[in-house]
């Protein structure tokens, strides 16, 4: 066995996956470990299988331990038995936290993870509580907490809510994988610094370096391009505008805005080069570079991707110091093993999955792909091969997590990857010289500015291509197994399976060729009406009998596009929607909402009331709903658009999407009515003879009114997504 | 010092970028394109001599009524010279003033 670490890590992962499927407690898991090892030693002499078994059971026990063990003074133990799902039932009105890492800032919010020091319940401070919380401060007066600050925050301790809509990001699970079980939300005016405590001096120094680097960036490059450079070099995606970020996603190049192996490799290359110019000896240069990449990992937040790359980089550098060759698969395995040892839940973290799968795919597949594309310059074939290899291994995860894949990713990456690499190298030079002299920083800043403008031109152009990104539904488990098996055995000779002279590779390949396009193209939707629990917008999707998609938006919050960005678009992607046959807009004031939908989907027709029509961008073929008119959509659904809303004949029922409630509507019976007006008094008369759907949270983003409790009223903010039938 | 091909190409690229950057700085008013950005440490301050009632409402301990009183006092008695001048407002205590002091400024209106 020449890759023992890969074998051991595979065993560990196997055990953790097994634990994930069962709810076994850690004590029985350790007992099973002891019994299994003892039995195996007596019964079986095969060492390799014994090692696999030991590490598999160890992985199972480790995962179970983390999943089920709750320390005595943990906030979860303190709140055990209290129903914390509804407002303030746990009675905690304020918390005192230690800021655990460098907060993230954007125009509207400050976010950070805090270590609990104490909580305040009914005016009494309760100390000795431990645990982590995710804190969000709404930026009102620009208060900026820093690492090590001890903060008193007046805000309720809440469990994060599970998703209320299909396709929605599961924030509760995401935080759980980071061992965070509660959130605190407050305005920054409700936050007071009460001291500081630095537990990790190395972190503090690293963050000091980060602020200095940010100053150089923003004093050397104009803001719009500086934000992109901030994302590219430090992985800070929050400063990048939504529309720009979307274009990177559509072109499959968003990975350059996340710090990863490329950044680590470039830093290593640059530092080595600088040290070589100063004639520093190779081993000393390796040690210095090691220190720099560790600092870089800390200042960029130490996510799974950068930690993976840093560990692999460290293995290579230590190999140089010790004058030993390194195996990339073993380095990758060490990185996985260490990350899983510290936090087994990393296995289910999307960042971990994407990072390791992409790296494994590149290491495993790049030689085979490069051999098939001979005749190109080395830099082009290398970029193309790694792009293809990564894309192949990532597609099932992308389908399951984002329900989206980029069709032009390979083409886009040929341009963007080398360009972003060059920008990063010049960025390091800018940091180096700009730290001495602002004028020198601006010299490099100017070149970087031009290169970023050029890069954005390419991204903007490619993102406009029709179907540049397509929605892709979660692949069934069997299809995923066939998919990965095929690509794993593809570089090797076929395996005879004694089936009419065909090999395994051929069988898998044919199955994939038939099943994958079917999965992509077969329409899965039966006629249905979906109403979404979306913040800041009323949104509903009607899928007609002839599979036409009519998307209705009404009365949005002009200040934020959270609902469209984080709920509606993921839902449409989850449902495999690529085309919207009709987009209907009532009182949609936030043009960013319309733009986000147009970027993400092919919209064949728009109908808008006068207020929304004014927000359109001279769209050809858009119709202003100024008076009643009728559209017949196929033979099974008949749609009417009026100034009050949409009326759709839907089988034996009628579906109404109402911007406002006009007199006479209460006389309708047997309908499903979505009312954008969430006023209880207005809706109750309708609910007598119809099913009514409202979104009561839309009256205020953070000020949730009491839910409307009545028969036949479905309040989306309380009950989540509504579907008929 | 023996450089690999890759290292040599990077050095050349850095030199070319520096030369191009110098030209852009000299001939294309590059300095004007770099906007003043918010310092990473300075919070936004509310000027109690120029802020509207709506803006003053954002201060901790200040509601709609107090905000309107501040505006009215400013109109009748003139500009505030320091945060302590807010003591004259009905309902304003030193404790409230201390709480909001770090968020306010009294720069005279231009």
Pairing verdict, β A582-586 and A549-554: parallel
pLDDT of A681 over the 80 cut = no
Do A497 and A641 lie in a common domain? no
Do A576 and A649 lie in a common domain? yes
Average pLDDT for A565-590: 91
Q: Which two tokens stand for residue A321?
A: 């110091």
CA neighbor of A686 nearest in space, from A705, A708, A669: A669
Q: Which of A199, A224, A245 is the last residue of a domain?
A: A199
> In the predicted model, what is the mean pLDDT of chain A?
85
CA neighbor of A116 nearest in space, from A102, A103, A135: A135
Is the CB of B24 less than 8 angstroms away from the CB of A444?
no
Predicted pLDDT at A629:
60
Measured CA to CA, the distance from residue A460 to residue A99 in angstroms comes to 38
In a domain, A336, yes or no: yes
ipTM, 2 decimals?
A: 0.76
Do A460 and A484 lie in a common domain? no
CA distance A245 to chain B (A): 21
Yes or no: say if A309 and A255 are a contact pair by the CB < 8 Å rule: no
Average pLDDT for A427-436: 93
**Would you list the domain boundaries of chain B?**
1-37, 46-105
Do A483 and A598 lie in a common domain? no
Yes or no: say if A527 and A545 are a contact pair by the CB < 8 Å rule: yes
Q: How confident is residue A2, by pLDDT bands cut at 50, 70 and 90? A: low
Do A185 and A134 lie in a common domain? yes
pLDDT of A86 over the 60 cut = no
- Ranges of beta strands (E only) in A379-527 are 404-406, 469-471, 496-499, 502-503
Do A462 and A321 lie in a common domain? yes
pLDDT of A583 over the 90 cut = yes
In a domain, A350, yes or no: no
Question: Which CATH number fits the domain that encloses residue A155?
Answer: 2.40.50.140
Q: How confident is residue A560, by pLDDT bands cut at 50, 70 and 90? A: confident
Measured CA to CA, the distance from residue A338 to residue A348 in angstroms comes to 15
How far are the Cα atoms of A280, A299, A652 from residue A275, in angstroms, in the given order? 5, 22, 77
| Residue range of the domain that includes A486 | 475-521
Do A542 and A688 lie in a common domain? yes
Q: Which of A27, A51, A68 is the last residue of a domain?
A: A68
DSSP letters, A277-296, are HTT--HHHHHHHHHHHHHHH
State the best of A273, A377, A446 to mutate against chain B, taking most chain B CBs within 10 Å: A446
Domain count along chain A: 5
Predicted pLDDT at B62:
80
pLDDT digits (tens, 9 = 90+) for A87-113: 446 788 899 999 998 888 876 788 999
Q: Which of A470, A485, A504 is the last residue of a domain?
A: A470
Do A41 and A189 lie in a common domain? no
B46-105 has which CATH code? 1.10.150.280
Do A87 and A174 lie in a common domain? yes
pLDDT digits (tens, 9 = 90+) for A527-538: 899 999 998 899
Measured CA to CA, the distance from residue A404 to residue B40 in angstroms comes to 36
Chain A residues contacting B via beta carbons under 8 Å: 140-144, 189-190, 211, 214-215, 218-223, 226, 269-270, 272-273, 276-277, 279, 422, 425-426, 429, 442-450
Predicted pLDDT at A215:
92
Which chain A residue shows the shortest CA-CA distance from B56? A141
pLDDT digits (tens, 9 = 90+) for A172-200: 999 998 899 999 998 877 888 888 888 88
Do A645 and A720 lie in a common domain? yes
For residue B37, list chain A residues with Cβ-Cβ distance below 8 A: 218-219, 223, 226
- Main-chain dihedrals φ then ψ at residue A96, nearest 5 degrees: -120, 125
In a domain, A414, yes or no: yes
What is the pTM (predicted TM-score) of this model? 0.82
pLDDT of A412 over the 90 cut = yes
Do A294 and A419 lie in a common domain? yes
Average pLDDT for A572-596: 90
Q: Can you state the percent helix, strand and coil of chain B, rounding each to 5?
A: 55, 5, 40
pLDDT of A577 over the 70 cut = yes
For residue A189, list chain B residues with Cβ-Cβ distance below 8 A: 58-60, 103
pLDDT of B41 over the 80 cut = no
Q: Which two tokens stand for residue A406?
A: 């980029």
- Main-chain dihedrals φ then ψ at residue A83, nearest 5 degrees: -80, 105
Yes or no: say if A318 and A290 are a contact pair by the CB < 8 Å rule: yes
Is the CB of B18 less than 8 angstroms away from the CB of A447?
yes
Do A365 and A278 lie in a common domain? yes
């Amino acid at each position: 066995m020449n890759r023992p670490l890969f074998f051991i890590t595979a065993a560990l992962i196997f055990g953790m996956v097994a634990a994930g499927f069962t709810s076994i407690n850690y004590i029985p898991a350790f007992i099973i470990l002891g019994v299994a090892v003892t039995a195996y030693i007596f019964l079986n002499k095969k060492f390799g299988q014994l090692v696999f078994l030991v590490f598999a059971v160890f992985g199972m026990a480790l995962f179970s331990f983390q999943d089920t063990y709750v320390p005595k003074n943990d906030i979860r133990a303190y709140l055990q038995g209290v129903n914390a799902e509804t407002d303030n039932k746990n009675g905690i009105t304020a918390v005192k936290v230690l800021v655990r890492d460098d907060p993230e800032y954007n125009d509207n919010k400050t976010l950070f993870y805090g270590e609990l020091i104490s909580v305040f319940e009914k005016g009494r401070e309760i100390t000795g509580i431990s645990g982590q919380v995710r804190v969000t401060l709404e930026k009102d007066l620009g208060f900026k907490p820093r690492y090590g600050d001890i903060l008193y925050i007046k805000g309720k301790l809440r469990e994060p809510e599970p998703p209320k809509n299909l396709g929605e990001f599961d924030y509760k699970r995401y935080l759980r994988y980071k061992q965070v079980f509660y959130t605190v939300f407050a305005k920054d005016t409700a936050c007071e610094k009460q001291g500081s405590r630095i537990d990790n001096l190395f972190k503090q120094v690293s963050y000091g370096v980060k602020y200095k680097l940010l100053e150089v960036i923003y004093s050397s490059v104009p803001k719009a391009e500086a934000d992109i450079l901030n994302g590219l070099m430090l992985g800070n995606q929050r400063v990048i505008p939504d529309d720009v970020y979307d274009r990177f996603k559509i072109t499959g190049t968003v990975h350059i805005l996340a710090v990863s192996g490329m950044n680590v490799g470039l830093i290593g290359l640059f530092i080595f080069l600088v040290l070589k110019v100063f004639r520093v000896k190779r081993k000393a240069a390796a040690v210095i570079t090691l220190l720099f990449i560790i600092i870089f990992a800390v200042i960029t937040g130490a996510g799974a991707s950068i930690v993976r790359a840093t560990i692999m980089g460290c293995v290579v550098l230590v190999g140089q110091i010790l004058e030993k060759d390194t195996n990339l698969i073993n380095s990758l395995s060490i990185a996985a093993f260490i990350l899983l040892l510290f936090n087994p839940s990393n296995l289910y973290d999307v960042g971990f999955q994407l990072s390791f799968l992409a790296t494994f795919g590149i290491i495993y597949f790049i030689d085979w792909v490069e051999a098939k594309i001979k005749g190109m310059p080395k830099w082009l074939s290398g970029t193309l091969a790694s792009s293809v290899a990564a894309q192949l291994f990532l597609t099932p995860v992308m389908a399951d997590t984002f329900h989206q894949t980029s069709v032009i990713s390979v083409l886009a990456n040929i341009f963007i990857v080398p360009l972003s690499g060059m920008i990063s190298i010049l960025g390091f030079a800018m940091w180096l010289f700009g730290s001495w002299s602002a004028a020198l920083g601006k010299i490099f800043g100017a070149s970087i500015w031009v290169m970023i403008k050029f890069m954005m031109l390419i991204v903007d152009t490619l993102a406009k291509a029709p179907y540049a990104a397509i929605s892709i539904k979660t692949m069934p488990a069997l299809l995923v197994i066939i998919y990965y098996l095929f690509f794993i055995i593809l570089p090797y000779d076929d395996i005879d399976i004694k089936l009419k002279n065909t090999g395994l590779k051929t069988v898998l390949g044919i199955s994939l060729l038939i099943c994958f396009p079917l999965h992509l193209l077969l329409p899965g939707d039966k006629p249905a009406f979906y109403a979404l629990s979306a913040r800041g917008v009323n949104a509903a999707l009607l899928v007609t009998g002839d599979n036409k998609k009519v998307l209705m938006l009404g009365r949005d919050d002009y200040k934020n596009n959270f609902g469209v960005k984080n709920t509606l678009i993921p839902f449409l992607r989850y449902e495999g929607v690529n085309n919207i046959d009709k987009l209907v807009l009532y009182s949609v004031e936030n043009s960013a909402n319309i733009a986000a939908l147009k970027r993400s989907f092919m919209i064949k027709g728009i109908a808008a009331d006068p207020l929304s029509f004014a927000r359109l961008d001279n769209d050809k073929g858009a119709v202003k709903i100024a008076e009643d008119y009728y559209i017949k959509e196929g033979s099974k659904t008949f749609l009417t658009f009026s100034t009050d809303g949409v009326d759709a004949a839907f089988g034996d029922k009628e579906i109404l999407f109402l911007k406002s409630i006009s007199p006479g509507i209460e006389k309708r019976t047997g309908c499903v009515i979505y009312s954008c007006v969430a006023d209880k008094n207005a809706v109750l008369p309708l609910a007598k003879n119809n099913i009514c759907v409202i979104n009561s949270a839309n009256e205020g983003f953070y000020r949730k009114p009491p839910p409307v409790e009545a028969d036949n009223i479905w309040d989306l903010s309380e009950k989540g997504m509504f579907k008929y039938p | 010092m023996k450089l690999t091909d890759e290292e040599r190409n990077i050095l050349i690229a850095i030199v070319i970028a520096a030369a191009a950057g110098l030209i852009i700085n000299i001939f294309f008013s590059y300095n004007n394109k770099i906007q003043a950005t918010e310092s990473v440490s300075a919070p936004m301050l509310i000027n109690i001599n120029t802020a509207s009632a709506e803006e003053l409402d954002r201060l901790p301990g200040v509601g709609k009524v107090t905000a309107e009183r501040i505006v009215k006092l400013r109109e009748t008695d003139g500009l505030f010279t320091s945060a302590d001048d807010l003591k004259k407002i009905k309902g304003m205590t030193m404790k409230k003033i201390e709480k909001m002091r770090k968020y306010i400024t009294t720069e005279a209106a231009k």
